[in-house]
Amino acid sequence: MPGYDDVCVLVPTFNEAATIADVVERFREQGLENVLVIDGDSTDGTRELARDAGARVKVQSGSGKGQAVREGVAAIDQPYVLMADGDGTYRPEQADRLLEPLFEGRADHVIGNRFADMQPGAMTRLNRVGNRFINRSFGAIHGRDLGDILSGYRGFTTESFRRLSLGADGFGIETEMAVECVRRGVETAVVPITYEPRPEASETNLRPIRDGANIIARLYQMARATNPLFYFGSIGAVSGLMGAAITVYVAYEWFVNGIAHDVLALAAGVGILFAVQLIMFGVLSDLIVTANREQNRRLERIARALEDEHEPPAKADGAAWQDASEDVGETAETTEEAATGTDRES
């Protein structure tokens, strides 16, 4: 069974000098010795403190948390990654909760649900409302309830991560990872974790309004590939409602006041026709996406079956396997002795 030696703790940082040393030390105290801090060119000594605490430090070539995560995973050789923030809001003591589903093969991606045990003051009311809205939007658009898609405390296999098509540079990386897990059929589990307030000396890099708007826009944009019926249907619904509203106005003006609005009538007709076409396109796209998703799942099952066929005999047949190896060794030794004896006689 896999162990902590197969895990690399990935910690993206930017100006986290107040907390990074404590975070690294606590993970190492849990037995997770391999800690990689991927730093966004901090100016407050974050890198030096992380290195002194025992972490391996790498400066990212670009900027933003999303780019840091992608670059960090690319530099990891271990088969498992435990991702956490460097602000001290997550408990390294709860690492087992995220790693056990991976080690047992029950999931390839595990999300820590902060709302299961959120400490007072850990999240502002604005952030809490925004998180709830984004999570519910995700469930409505993508048909999966993953509890807390914005959580930064995650565990995943490097193999499953490399299957994801990720392009977000900022805090939208968590949302993108959740969407891609649904899109690619990555087995995902959700576990409860504790979310604690940031220490007073630590300042957040999150800008709620701007980053929240970017996350919602990214979530909606990605619906085009995962739920095209919702994506095109929503645009079609808006166009249809506008066309219907203009139609009502034109009809009222014609029948009540005797005024004709030819241009508006034409615009209403175009809007309704556009809406019908978008909805039809959404239905056809949804059929194609569903068929493609099912085909990918079949191909993955075939690939796994082929991998299982080529695996060596399990050690569970251990005794027989070991006895066979010993018999082969004894036979080789006997043959070698016979050959030596024959040489001496000659």
Where are the domains positioned within the chain?
Answer: 4-223, 228-309
pLDDT digits 0-9 by tens, 66-88: 899 999 999 999 999 999 999 99
Neighbouring C-beta atoms of residue 88, cutoff 10 Å: 21
Instruction: Report which of residues 230 and 304 the model is more confident about.
Output: 230
Backbone angles phi, psi at 180, to 5 degrees: -65, -35
* H helix or E strand, kind and range, residue 319: helix 318-345
pLDDT level of residue 338 (50, 70, 90 thresholds): very low
The helix/strand/coil state of 86 is coil
pLDDT digits 0-9 by tens, 237-284: 898 899 999 999 999 888 888 888 888 889 989 989 988 988 888 788
Task: Tell me what the pLDDT averaged over the chain comes to.
Answer: 82
Low-confidence winner among 35-39, 126-130, 302-306 (lowest mean pLDDT): 302-306
Neighbouring C-beta atoms of residue 30, cutoff 10 Å: 16
pLDDT digits 0-9 by tens, 161-207: 998 888 777 778 898 899 889 888 889 999 999 999 987 766 666 66
pLDDT digits 0-9 by tens, 112-133: 999 999 999 888 888 888 889 8
Instruction: Report which of residues 58 and 218 the model is more confident about.
Output: 58
The model's pTM: 0.72
Q: Which two tokens stand for residue 295?
A: 């085909």
Could you say which architecture CATH assigns to the domain 4-223?
Answer: Alpha-Beta Complex (3.90)
Cα distances (Å, whole numbers) of residue 110 to 28, 115, 330: 21, 15, 48
Q: Which two tokens stand for residue 312?
A: 């060596």
Q: Which two tokens stand for residue 119?
A: 């400490």
pLDDT of 104 reads 93
Cα separation, 87 vs 105, in Å, equals 30
pLDDT level of residue 92 (50, 70, 90 thresholds): very high
Cα separation, 2 vs 111, in Å, equals 19
